[in-house]
Structure 1
Amino acid sequence: MFRWILLLLLITFGALQYRLWFGEANLKEVWSLKEQIQDQLRENERLQARNRQLEAEVNDLRDGLSALEERARSGQGMIKEGETFYQLVEPLPDSRSE
């Protein structure tokens, strides 16, 4: 009688182990999903930081003219009336020194 109970318990244990390792929603799949979740959380943090930066820039553009002026100066090369513009040009490499 004891042998039959032990055999039944071993078969049940084996069946549960099979489901754990090879069945639907096995451990390998669970580990993979946890890794995907961590990757997605890192991506979300990166995008949230980018969104905060863009939101701050939009607020600066909406509220102040200084940010708008800075963008026009750096992006479009605009200068104010009465300012002197100096453009520095790098010298060409001397072909004789080669």
Structure 2
Amino acid sequence: MFRWILLLLTITLLGLQYRLWFGEANLREVWALQQEIERQRSENDHLVARNHQLDAEVKDLKQGLAALEERARNELGMVKQGETFFQLVPALPQAVPLPIDKKSN
């Protein structure tokens, strides 16, 4: 009698383990979904931060001309009337002279 109970419990345990590892909604799927949730949360946090930044920029543009002027200067290169604009251009690297081939002369 004890053997039958032990055999029944063993079969039940194996059946439950099979469902846990290979059945519907198994542990591998749960782990994959948890990783997907973390990835999505990270992406959402990034998008929320970007939205806050854009919202602040819109408020600045609506409230004052300073932000609009700064944007026009930086992005469009605009200059106020009466201002002097200086553009600094980096120097070109010095050209290395080519060796003279004496045989071709």
| The two structures share one fold, judged by TM-score above 0.5 | yes
Query: As a proportion of its length, which structure holds more helix?
Result: 1
Structure 1 residue 12: Cα displacement: 0.6
Structure 1 residue 92: Cα displacement: 1.4
Q: Which runs of 5+ in 2 are unaligned?
A: 99-105
Structure 1 residue 96: Cα displacement: 2.9
Deviations 1:42-64 (A, max 9, x none): 11001100110011001101111
Structure of higher CA gyration radius: 2
In structure 2, the residue matched to 1:20 is: 20
Take 1:96 and 1:39, find their aligned partners in 2: how far apart are those partners? 52
Structure 1 residue 97: Cα displacement: 6.8
TM-score, structure 1 normalization: 0.94
Over the aligned positions, Cα root-mean-square deviation in angstroms equals 1.3
In structure 2, the residue matched to 1:90 is: 90
Range with greater deviation from structure 2 (80-89 or 26-35): 80-89
Residue identity (%): 64
